[in-house]
Structures are given as C-alpha cells and as structure tokens.
Amino acid sequence: MKRLLPTLRADQTSESLISVINTIHIAAKEISFRLHQGALAGVLGSTLDENIQGETQKKLDVVANQLLKTLLLESPNVHAIASEEEDSIVVSPNSGHYLVAFDPLDGSSNIDINGSVGTIFSILRKPEGEETGESMFLQPGKAQVAAGYIVYGPATMLVMTTGKAVRTYTLDQTVGEFLLTRETAEIPRSTREFAINMSNQRHWAPPVKEYVEDLLKGETGPRKKNFNMRWNAAMVSDVHRIITRGGLFTYPWDDRNGKKPFKLRLMYEAAPMALLIEKAGGKATDGYQRILDIVPTDIHQRVGVVLGSASEVDKCMDYHAKHPKPF
Ligand code: F6P
C-alpha cells in the first residue's frame, strides 16, 4: 500500500510543502495516540480556561494545540500559524514560505464520550513583501495550497488535497504510517441524507426553516423522497461521512446570540472543508455564495455553512434565494 509522502510527490507537490504536511501528520499521530489512550493518559475533561471564542478548553484541545504549534514553528518552511486556540497569529523565527491555520481538535465536546473528533488544517502561501501581521492570513479559501483533516474515529484517517485529487489515508498503528486507502473521493451529486443541529430550529432564518420542513415531509412532500438525518456534533466526522457517501451538512445563521449569529470559523473550519468538498465534486456555500470566494476580515471570523452533494446544496440555495439575507 502507498505511503503518504510518495503519493504527494507523485502529485508533484513541492518538497517544502510536503515537509509542512509531514509536520502536521507527525503531530496528528501523537494526538491520535493520546486520544486512544483516553482516560489512561489523564487528558480527559476540561481546563479552567476559555479560548478566544469564549469556549471552555478541553485538556486535549490544549495538548493538541501545543503539539501542532511547537512542531510547525520549528519547521523551516512555516512563517506563521493561526489556531482556534490562540488569540492571535504566532510568527515563527524561521522565514518559511507557508502560513498554517488549524483547528487542533474540532468537536472536542466528543472527547469525554469517546466520540470522533478531528484536526483541520489549511495551508496558504505567505504573500510576497514584508508583511508580518495577521493580514497575511486574510486570503480567500481559493488561495489555499493544501487543506485537509484528520478524523480520530475507530480508525485514524487523513483526508487531504494539494489542489488535485482528495486522497484518504488510514493510520496503520502497527508501523505508525498513513497509508493510501482511497485514491480519489467523489461525492455523489444527489443524496437522501442531511446533517443539522435540529435543536436550533426555532432560531433559524426562514430559508433554512422552509428547506428542512420540506425535507422532513418526505416522499409525500415537495421533495418526493424520504430523507435520513445524522448529526455527530463534530464537523470533521460529519464532513467525513459526506466525503465518503454524500449528504448535506449545514450550520446556518441563527438568532440565539446576536453577537455570534454563526458558529463555524471560516479560516480553519469552513474554508479547508470547502476546498476538499469542491475538489471531490461537491459544493460549499454560505447559502448565498461560494465559501472559497469569501475574503476573511479576521482570522477567527465565523460564517454560515451549507456543503455537500452538489445538487442538494443547489436546492438549499434556491430556498435562500427567495429571502433577503438575514446578515
Ligand atoms: O466548531 C465547533 C463544532 O464542534 C463543530 O465541529 C460541530 O459541527 C459543531 O460545533 C457542533 O455544534 P453543536 O454544539 O451545535 O452540536
């Protein structure tokens, strides 16, 4: 079976980019090991701190962040990092050509229940010039040179693209290597499965309410087919299901908290997932426009997300088009 690095070389990925990806996968193997140790490693539960997003940090959020941060900042090819768990970007003493944005442990509320969690990463080229501040990172998702995630489930899997195919690798625990287990992901155009946190229904804007109501009417409703619903509460594992067998995932705008009408972060959740989804033949939008076209104004910016099987995303966007934007 093919190992990770030779497959990247076969895609003509540059050695400097391969080295950054390799650094991420070394950190991922360590995170996977700690997660699989579970309570034995003494890392379950929360810290007493909150991150910049006002969320309580899990001990493993901190461990995963520290591992990625330390290893990436030691890499000669990395210029700076942005992390969900860091208030600001951190610039490396090395003057590498790449910027890495990451969510070290997505869906971390699943840790204590032994559910799937993941690491999401997005790699950008440092813009030419002397710029060293946060604005270096404020590039639209379509500028990403690589993106991917590691899902720590029953198996640890890495799904990534350097702009060509979306490849899936599985961590062989016996040799400690990611081995290629799926050459190319192809998301079916249509689906009968959707993912949304239904408990927020009363807070959604009209287009999302109407869209989901019609899905729930099943074969006697306007969609003329029955839909199944899945919600893993970790974007990585919901997206992994869609990359594997299709589906629609949405975390839309809602009015629960006027200061935070969106939940998911653009730079290290929505944009890297959008690149993977598009490269696998799906679509990723905020309900109105392509996520990869959105130019961030802040590294921790949040965004509405509708992604997955292309024709289902189009359908969902048709409902949005009938209403004015709530934001
Ligand atoms: O980014 C945070 C996250 O955990 C995502 O991974 C996931 O899709 C979502 O939040 C879960 O949200 P909720 O708590 O509403 O189920």
Q: Is the pLDDT of residue 42 over 80?
A: no
Structure tokens at 107: 């869906």
CA 36 to centroid of chain Cα atoms: 21
**Banded pLDDT at 324 (limits 50, 70, 90):** confident
Q: Is the pLDDT of residue 226 over 60?
A: yes
Instruction: State mean pLDDT over 79-106.
Output: 95
Is the distance from CB of 277 to CB of 236 less than 8 angstroms? no
pLDDT at 187: 98
How far, in Å, from the CA of 235 to the mean position of ligand 1?
6
pTM of the model: 0.95
Within the chain, which residue ranges are assigned CATH 3.40.190.80? 193-321
Count other Cβ atoms within 10 Å, centred on residue 92: 20
Ranges 50-59, 291-300, 311-320: which has the least confidence = 50-59
**Banded pLDDT at 20 (limits 50, 70, 90):** very high
All residues at 6 or more sequence positions from 248 whose CB lies less than 8 Å from its CB, including other chains:
191, 193, 194, 195, 242, 306, 307, 308, 309, 312, 313, 316
Tell me the best of 56, 235, 238 to mutate to test the pocket of ligand 1, counting ligand atoms within 8 Å of each CB and taking the most: 235
**Banded pLDDT at 239 (limits 50, 70, 90):** very high
Tell me the best of 197, 273, 306 to mutate to test the pocket of ligand 1, counting ligand atoms within 8 Å of each CB and taking the most: 197
Structure tokens at 202: 């009363």
Determine whether domain 193-321 maps to CATH 3.30.465.10. no
Write the DSSP symbol of residue 121: E
Q: Is the pLDDT of residue 189 over 60?
A: yes
How far is residue 322's CA from residue 327's CA, in Å, rounded to a whole number? 15
Residue 228 amino acid letter: N
Query: Quick one: 4-182 is in which CATH superfamily?
Result: Fructose-1,6-Bisphosphatase, subunit A, domain 1 (3.30.540.10)
Give the model confidence (pLDDT) of 22-32 as tens digits. Answer: 999 999 999 99
